[in-house]
């Protein structure tokens, strides 16, 4: 899915790509709904280890925000800011593993892959 673009280039900013992976547990689907102030990406469902990606051009003010609500069988509905201009300004490819304990940003640069996990927002 491509959002807020004119052609293939962004104005003054690099394109941001978000990758979401269902890491809940085998056999459990992850339902989620992501949106920004201007764009609603609709409801999505991922099987275990499935992925969903979208990309967009962040605004020049660094205030772009995409937030998502997440739900799965046996769990409550939780949400998280999947992209914030301030936190993610240097993240061209932002990969997120969605876990029961919270979303984890995966640093895919370099040889070693590391994760930085965040708590859910209620």
Which sequence spans correspond to the domains of the chain? 2-117
Tell me how far apart the alpha carbons of residues 28 and 3 are, in angstroms, rounded to a whole number: 29
Mean of all residue pLDDT scores within the chain: 90
Question: Would you state the pLDDT for residue 8?
Answer: 62
Q: Is residue 5 scored above 80 in pLDDT?
A: no
Distances (CA, A) of 24 to 27, 55, 103, 108: 9, 23, 10, 20
pLDDT in tens, 16-70: 999 999 999 999 999 999 999 999 999 999 999 999 999 999 998 999 999 999 9
Note the pLDDT of residue 113.
78
Question: In terms of CATH, what superfamily is 2-117?
Answer: Immunoglobulins (2.60.40.10)
């Amino acid at each position: 899915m491509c959002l807020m673009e004119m052609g293939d280039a962004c104005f003054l900013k690099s394109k941001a790509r978000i990758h979401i992976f269902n890491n809940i547990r085998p056999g459990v689907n992850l339902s989620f709904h992501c949106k920004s102030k201007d764009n609603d990406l609709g409801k999505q469902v991922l099987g275990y280890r499935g992925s969903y990606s979208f990309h967009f051009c962040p605004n020049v003010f660094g205030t772009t925000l995409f937030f998502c609500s997440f739900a799965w069988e046996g769990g409550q509905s939780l949400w998280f800011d999947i992209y914030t201009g301030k936190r993610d300004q240097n993240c061209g490819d932002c990969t997120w593993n969605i876990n029961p304990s919270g979303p984890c940003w995966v640093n895919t640069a370099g040889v070693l892959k590391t994760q930085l996990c965040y708590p859910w927002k209620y």
